[in-house]
Each structure stands twice: as C-alpha cells, then as structure tokens.
Amino acid sequence: MSAKINSVQCLTSPDALKRTLSIEFGFDDDVEYAPGDSFGIWAPNDEALIRGVLAALEVKDNDLTKYYKLEGEGIPSHLQPVQSATLLDIFRYSVDLTSVPKKANIRLYADHATDLSDKQKLMFLTSKQGTDLFNAFRAQGPTFLDILHTFPSIKIPLARVLETLPPLQPRYYSITNSPMAKNGHRRWACAFNVITYEFPEGVKRRGVCTPWLDQLSGKVPFDKKAVTTGFDHLRLPMFLKPNETKFNLPVDTMKPVIMIGPGTGVAPFMGFLEHRAEQRKIKKRFMNIGTGSRQHLEDHFGEMWLFYGCRHREKDWLFRESMEQFKKEGVLTELQVAVSRGEDVPTNNGKYVQDLIKKESMRVWNLLDKKGALIYVCGDAKGMAKSVHDELINVLVEHGGFEKTAAMLELNKWAQEKRYLRDLLKDNSISTAANSSTMVEVTGHRESNMDDLCEAEDELDGDDDDHDIKDR
C-alpha cells in the first residue's frame, strides 16, 4: 500500500546522544490492525553508496539508465520478479549494499583479484588460519564497497555481483497509535532512532531506512509540536505485519499488564496506552447512561504498569507528556522511569529498567501471583531483554519461593501460555543463490547479450556464514 506523511516530530533534544523521530503516516482507505502490530517500509539504498559501488565496478555512465532483464538459472529468487529495470534501480531497490560480505563472496572476490597481493590477502581472510583476522574485519561492518576500495584490483563481472548480493529487506517499525482513536484506521505512527552505528576504531555506518526517512522529511528540528506541512508530494511503499507472537493487548480488559521497554522499545506500549484510553472513554460514556453508572471506572480495567528507561530526563525521555497524561487520567497505573546518565539521575531508582523491577519486586510479584498479570518486553535482545529476564527470575525466587531452575521453567511456561511476551530487536539471517546467470539489455523489443557486463563463470562454492541486517 502507499502512504503519505501526515506529520513528523523530533522527540530528542539537539544534544541528545541519539536523534529520535516520530512519524505519522496516512492512508486513503481504512486499514485493520491492532496495537502491537508493526509495519514494513521498503526503503532504497543510499544514493551515494549506489553510485560509489557502480563506479568501483567501472560501469559506464551510459549503461546506468539502460533497461536490463536478468536471465538464467542462477538468478537469485529476489531478482526473478524484476522483468526489466535499469542498473540504478536494481542497485537502488533490490540488493543489500550495507551488509558484511559472506566468506564465500570474499573467496569469489579473491578469484577476480588481478593483483597477487590482493588475492593472497583475500584468500587468507577466508582461511582457517585467518579466522581471527576475519572476525576483526567483520567487527568493522565492512560493506561490498569497502572491499572494492580496499582491494581495487578486484575485477568482477556485474552479473556475478548481482548473484552474490543479498536482497534488500524491508525495515519494520512498531505502531504507536490505536485504531480506536480518531481516524485511527487511516494512520500509523512510529518512533525510531536515526541509525548511525559506530564500530571499533571509530568506523561509522548509517542505517538504510531511518536516515532516508529523516532526509525525506526535511530533518525537522527538536520541538514539542510536530511538523505537518511540506510532505504532500511524498508517497511511501509499506505494508502491515501483524504480530505473530500475540504481542497484543489482552481481550480481557480486566487483565493487568506489565510493560517493559526502554528507549524506542516503548513504541508499541504507546499504542497499548492509547487503545486503553479509548476503551475507557467508551466505557465511561456507557456507564453514564446505563445501569452501572455508579460503578468505578477502574473496576472494569486491570492495572497497567510501565517500566521505561532513558539516558537523560530532559534530553531523550520519549513521549514524556503522553506518559504523564496517561498517568494523570488513570490509564497508566504505575509509571517507573530509569535514568542512566546526567546529574538528574535519582539515586534510589537505579539506572536501568531491570533495576526498577528489582526495586518494585514485591509489588511486581503480587501483581503476577494474585492478579495474573501479563508481562510485555520490547527492545534490545542482547542486553536489556536478558537482564530483565534474569531479574524476573529473581522475583520468582525471592518472593515466589521458587528454586532458580524452577523459576526459569515457570517463565518458559508463561511464555508458552502467552503470558510472558517479548518483541525484541535481533539480527536477521539471509542466504543467497550463487549460480551462473546473465544480464540482457532490453532496447524496445530487441534483446542483446551484454558481453562486457557478464561472462561465463565457475560456480561459487557455498558458504553458510550469515550476515547481519544493521537496520530494522
């Protein structure tokens, strides 16, 4: 589907460590979704990176805008739907130029290195003896273009390059609004950090989608108000990705929920809270005209707890005003905020969300044990999620009387029962085909083989090493 940009807001101050944007997209027709769902965006590769790769491959300028058709058994599946396209468009939309090349690809590059020194270095990099060097190399997050610049004697046919480059994947973002809100079925909002990765030795890499969205929306400055003009000409391709793990609000509104999400991990929970706020409005209107008007509104809704974390209260507390308003209205029962840096760090709270859980461990246990609360965790899979998991084990051991092993098994049981749900950022793996294929120029109704762009090559031997997608 195609979406327009309704508004853009920068949520972090200019001196914050990360730049975080909130963007709302709009649709012409209604879209069915639920809080906890995500959407995918098809973003193009960076234009400078595309031009750099094609220049390093010595593609002539007049070949960039010619239309080509890919033919042959070895065409990767992600390129097979391409009936005809220019080289610029193929490299712009169809192949991933930012991932670390696989060992099998590096061996292929070695075969096409005309300089003996380059060839030997590349071969050593993929050997068992070169494992430590390869790991150090991989830690820098090198791209295909980095390889071409480091080893300029690589002369590889363009068709062979297309066989080995992985597909450009969509990037996914949690929806931060509710379909029950005004015009909710015709808009999706999301929040994300504009990604710049810093690797060892100060090497920096940009994400694919977030810098593109930032540039596309005009790099709006930090402000409490969103920018709503200047986007009428933009249309973005995107699609809904329903949450397959049931990371959604429970149908039973009486069921308490504990939400744990530092940074942009709070994104889906803002949708949860807006949804619950709308549910409460409907219930309140009903109670005012029905027989149950004297009942307390709270009797119809379970508690909602949010454990949130940021670096600085004044610089990067995302959605602060909304959170405080939800707390004021009674939508949010408990708001716990961990601040990890700066002079305003409360000494009694702890720096991270797991510290907050430890501080409130007895109350957390009571909510879990006596009221059957559901636990939701969103954010980093490697650091935060593991620390939170360990602290939940401690809660069960300290207050539930579990042995550690039994506590671990209990959490696993809760996960199977969809009582302990996690939506985590993690690496993605891709495998690509690598057999021989050809590129054919399409000129009107005439097709001719391009000998200068493709040559017959031996089959590339397989390699199962995964590479990482660096941008969600």
> Using one digit for the tens of pLDDT, what is the confidence trace for 376-401?
999 988 889 999 999 999 999 999 99
Mean pLDDT on 210-219? 92
Tell which wins on pLDDT, 225 or 148: 148
* C-alpha R_g of the chain: 26
* 288, pLDDT greater than 60: yes
For residue 81, how far is the Cα from the chain centroid? 25
Q: State what percent of residues in the chain have pLDDT above 90.
A: 68
* 334, pLDDT greater than 90: yes
Beta bridge partners of 240: 39
Q: Note the pLDDT of residue 427.
A: 47
Q: Note the pLDDT of residue 43.
A: 95
Q: Note the pLDDT of residue 449.
A: 33
Under the banding of pLDDT at 50, 70 and 90, the label for residue 285 is confident
- What is the rounded CA–CA span in Å between residue 24 and residue 189? 4
Q: Indicate the pTM of the whole model.
A: 0.84
Q: Note the pLDDT of residue 295.
A: 57
Q: Buried b vs exposed e over 432-455: b needs ≥16 C-beta within 10 Å?
A: bbbebbbbbbeeeeeeeebeebbe
Q: What angle do CA 106, 108, 110 make, to 5 degrees?
A: 70
* 439, pLDDT greater than 50: no
202: left (phi over 0), alpha (psi -120 to 50) or beta: left
Q: Note the pLDDT of residue 141.
A: 86
Q: Note the pLDDT of residue 9.
A: 95
**Cβ-based neighbour number of residue 29 at 10 Å:** 7
**Cβ-based neighbour number of residue 304 at 10 Å:** 23
Top-level CATH class of 247-417?
alpha beta
Q: Note the pLDDT of residue 208.
A: 93
3-state SS assignment for residue 193: strand
Q: Note the pLDDT of residue 71.
A: 72
Q: Is 222 exposed, middle or buried (0-12, 13-18, 19+ CB in 10 A)?
A: middle
Q: Note the pLDDT of residue 159.
A: 87
Mean pLDDT on 201-207? 76
Mean pLDDT on 84-97? 92
Q: Note the pLDDT of residue 461.
A: 34
Tell which wins on pLDDT, 124 or 137: 124
> Which residues belong to CATH 3.40.50.80 in the chain?
247-417
As a whole number, the mean pLDDT across the chain is: 86
3-state SS assignment for residue 44: coil
Mean pLDDT on 338-343? 83
* 289, pLDDT greater than 90: no
* 24, pLDDT greater than 90: yes
Q: Note the pLDDT of residue 400.
A: 95
**Cβ-based neighbour number of residue 240 at 10 Å:** 15
Q: Which DSSP state fits 457?
A: -
Query: What number of residues does the chain have?
Result: 472
Report in angstroms the alpha-carbon separations of 110 from 53, 114, 138. 17, 9, 17
Instruction: Give the model confidence (pLDDT) of 242-261 as tens digits.
Output: 998 889 999 999 999 999 99
Mean pLDDT on 16-42? 95
Tell which wins on pLDDT, 297 or 458: 297
> Which residues belong to CATH 1.20.990.10 in the chain?
1-245+436-472
- The alpha carbon torsion through 103, 106, 108, 109 (nearest 10 deg) reads 180
- What is the rounded CA–CA span in Å between residue 148 and residue 135? 19
User: What six digits make up the tokens of 395?
Assistant: 């809660």
CA atoms within 13 A on the CB side of 387: 17
CATH fit for domain 1-245+436-472, picks 1.20.1630.10, 1.20.990.10, 1.10.287.1770, 1.10.10.10: 1.20.990.10
- Is residue 428 within 8 A of residue 472, CB to CB? The reply is no
